[in-house]
Each structure stands twice: as structure tokens, then as C-alpha cells.
């Protein structure tokens, strides 16, 4: 099937590594003009060269100025407005994995709100007017399974992602009939380099495979394997995102797509 992504102007935030890198890679394979983003120019440039991207845009999205710089650099590299915005940058800014909701400080809640919710809001505010003017646009927000099924720990992160899901639905409704769709994609546990590095360090084995790390972590009950029987890979997310980004996907908006191997037990 031709997803009609050839030549479409795309910014994938947080594409210097992990899930974002996988998304940028697949969109570029589909012929889109992709801008790779991260906070580190060297890392982003390396990926951009590998996937033959249109360019890079560098900046910290937890500030207004950083987001404005990223948007300006992306528009310059693309030679036009951002038509498809993938708000993927994020992750727990505090790394809280052991503290319960009342042990986490207000500052930590605010920090995660800035880097997960407002990072997406800032860029969306900058990119959507051009999409509306062009009568075509796609905004895809990368959230998390924990937004709808939170753990007891890490509420600063999961709460910020829940707000992002909420923002998606409001914006989709507000952009009625203008050709711009807004959706959320929610990963479960995805094996990114950071998790592989964590596993290799934990087990003191620099060559340990993805499968072996998964087996050991499951054995230690760090998490359960979801019904799919394995953990996710960046390309699992990228496949769904390419579909939602396609000009052919105009009837899907305000939705939350779970890409979690069946981790979240919900009927919706
Ligand atoms: N991996 C999972 O299991 C999982 C599960 C659920 C949800 N997610 C979500 O998926 C997204 C990608 O996660 P990942 O696991 O692929 O993480 P990752 O490998 O750590 O990559 C995160 C990317 O986001 C960028 N980034 C982070 N904070 C930023 C900020 N304040 N401003 C600008 N760039 C920022 C990083 O840039 P630098 O190169 O500058 O660091 C990097 O490119 C995140 O939104 C995360 O919450 C991941």
C-alpha cells in the first residue's frame, strides 16, 4: 500500500535515539522529508546521515525558547511548514521509580509536566497554524501505557502523560473539519538502547542480547511479559505512526492507539 508519505515534511522530536529514531527511520524509508531532533547536535546529526534525513533541529523542549529554536531550524531544513509533527521526545525527567505519589516533590511533577506534556504543547502551538492554513496536518503524541494504567511509583511521569492524552482529544475536537488530525500512540515496554545499556550494566555483561536481558528482567519480576509474549521494538511503534501520519488516515482523530503487546487490560 502507498501511504502517500513521499515528500511530506516531518519533524520527529526525540529522534536522536530510541523510539523516535525508529519512527524517523521508517518515515524516511517511506520517502518523507524528515528532520531529526535531539538536544545533542552530534548524536542527532549521526542519525540524520544514516537515514538520509532533510536535516536536524536541536534544542531543549522543556523551555519555550528551546521549542521555538527547534521549530525554526526544522522549518528551515524542510523548506516549508511542518506538515506532520511527531511529539515523541520525553521520558521521566526525574527517573523516579521508587517513590510513591506523596514522596515525589511538586518540583518533580512540574519537571515531568514540562518535558512530557508542555514539550508537545509548545511545538504543536507553533506547527498547527501552518497545517490549518494548508488544510492538511498530522499531530501524533507519543504517550505511555502508564497514562491510563499507572504504577504506584512514578506518578510525576504517568500524570504528565495522562495530561498529554487529554490534550490530544481536546485539540482533535477543536480542529474540526480543517484536515488536521491529532492522535496519541501509547507504548508499553519498548527495548531501546537505554534499556539495553541498563540490562548490560545490571548483569555486568557487555554483549548480553536483547532476548537474554528480557528473560532475566522477567525472571526477576521487573515486569511481566505482555500477551504478545515479547517486549516491544521501536519499529512496532513506527509502523502504527506511519499509518496515522498518512494522508489516507483522515478519519482517525482523537484516538489513543496502544502499542503495548496487550499490556493494558482495557476494552477500549
Ligand atoms: N522505551 C519505553 O519503554 C517507553 C515506554 C512508554 C513510553 N515511552 C515514551 O516514548 C518516548 C521516547 O522514549 P525512548 O524510550 O525512546 O527514550 P530515549 O531513548 O531516552 O530517547 C528520548 C529522546 O527524547 C529526547 N529528549 C528527552 N527529553 C527532551 C527534552 N526535554 N528536550 C528535547 N529532547 C528531549 C532525547 O534527546 P537527547 O538525545 O538530547 O537525550 C532523545 O532523543 C518518550 O516520550 C517516552 O516517555 C517509552
| Residue 268 domain flag | no
What pLDDT sits at residue 154? 95
The partner residues of 38 in beta bridges, in order of sequence, read 58
**What phi-psi label fits residue 48: left (phi over 0), alpha (psi between -120 and 50 degrees) or beta?**
alpha
pLDDT at position 96 is 86
Residue ranges making up the domain that contains 78:
9-190+233-259
Most ligand 1 atoms within 8 A of CB, residue of 91, 113, 228, 231 to mutate: 91
Regarding whether 47 and 157 lie in a shared domain, the answer is: yes
Active-site positions read 157
211 and 184 share one domain? no
CA dist 34 and 91 (Å) reads 22
Q: Are both 42 and 152 inside the same structural domain?
A: yes
- List of residues 6+ apart from 169 with CB closer than 8 A: 254
Average pLDDT by consecutive 10-residue portion of the chain (268 residues)?
A: 98 98 98 98 98 98 98 98 98 91 97 98 98 98 98 96 98 98 97 90 93 90 90 97 98 98 92
Q: Looking at ligand 1, which atom is closest to the CA of residue 116?
A: 45
Examine residue 266 and state whether it is found in any structural domain, yes or no: no
Q: Compute the distance from residue 30 Cα to the ligand 1 centre, in Å.
A: 23
For ligand 1, whether the C-beta of 238 sits within 6 Å is no
Q: Are 133 and 220 found together in one domain?
A: no
In the prediction, which pLDDT does 74 show?
99
Report which ligand 1 atom has the smallest distance to the Cα of 194.
19
How high is the pLDDT of residue 223?
Answer: 81
Q: Cβ(14) to ligand 1 under 6 A?
A: yes
Domain count, the chain: 2
Cβ of 118 closer than 6 Å to ligand 1, yes or no, is no
Choose which residue among 15, 18, 164 to substitute to test ligand 1 binding: the one with the highest number of ligand atoms within 8 A of its C-beta.
18
267 within a domain of the structure (yes/no): no
Prediction pTM value: 0.97
Ligand 1 within 6 A of CB of 92: no
Q: Give the bridge partners for 184, in sequence order.
A: 141, 256
- Grid cell in block for residue 135: 488544510
Q: What pLDDT does 222 receive? A: 83
The answer to whether 140 and 185 are in contact (CB under 8 A) is yes
What pLDDT sits at residue 21?
A: 98
Q: 190 by DSSP, 3-state: which?
A: strand
Q: Is the beta carbon of 18 within 6 A of some atom in ligand 1?
A: yes
CATH classification of the domain holding 102: 3.40.50.720
What is the 133 CA–ligand 1 centroid distance (Å)? 30
Whether ligand 1 lies within 6 angstroms of the CB of 146 is answered as no
Amino acid at each position: 500500500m502507498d501511504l502517500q508519505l513521499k515528500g511530506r515534511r516531518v519533524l520527529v522530536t526525540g529522534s536522536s535515539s530510541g523510539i523516535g529514531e525508529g519512527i524517523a527511520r521508517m518515515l524516511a524509508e517511506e520517502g518523507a522529508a524528515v528532520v531529526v531532533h535531539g538536544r545533542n547536535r552530534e548524536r542527532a546529526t549521526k542519525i540524520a546521515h544514516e537515514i538520509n534525513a532533510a536535516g536536524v533541529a536541536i534544542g531543549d523542549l522543556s523551555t519555550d525558547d528551546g521549542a521555538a529554536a527547534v521549530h525554526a531550524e526544522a522549518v528551515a531544513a524542510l523548506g516549508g511548514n511542518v506538515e506532520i509533527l511527531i511529539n515523541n521526545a520525553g521520558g521521566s525527567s526525574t527517573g523516579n521509580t521508587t517513590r510513591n505519589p506523596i514522596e515525589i516533590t511538586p518540583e518533580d511533577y512540574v519537571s515531568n509536566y514540562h518535558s512530557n506534556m508542555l514539550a508537545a504543547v509548545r511545538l504543536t502551538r507553533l506547527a498547527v497554524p501552518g497545517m490549518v492554513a494548508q488544510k492538511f496536518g498530522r499531530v501524533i503524541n507519543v504517550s505511555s501505557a502508564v497514562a491510563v494504567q499507572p504504577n504506584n511509583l512514578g506518578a510525576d511521569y504517568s500524570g504528565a502523560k495522562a495530561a498529554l492524552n487529554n490534550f490530544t482529544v481536546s485539540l482533535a475536537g477543536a480542529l474540526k473539519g480543517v484536515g488536521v488530525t491529532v492522535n496519541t500512540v501509547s507504548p508499553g515496554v519498548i527495548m531501546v538502547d537505554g534499556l539495553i545499556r541498563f540490562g548490560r550494566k545490571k548483569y555486568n555483561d557487555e554483549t548480553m542480547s536483547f532476548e537474554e536481558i528480557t528473560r532475566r528482567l522477567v525472571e526477576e519480576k521487573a515486569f511481566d511479559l505482555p500477551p504478545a509474549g515479547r517486549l516491544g521494538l521501536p519499529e512496532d511503534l513506527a509502523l502504527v505512526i506511519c499509518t496515522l501520519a498518512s494522508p489516507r488516515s483522515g478519519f482517525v482523530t482523537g484516538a489513543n492507539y496502544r502499542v503495548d503487546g496487550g499490556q493494558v487490560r482495557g476494552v477500549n
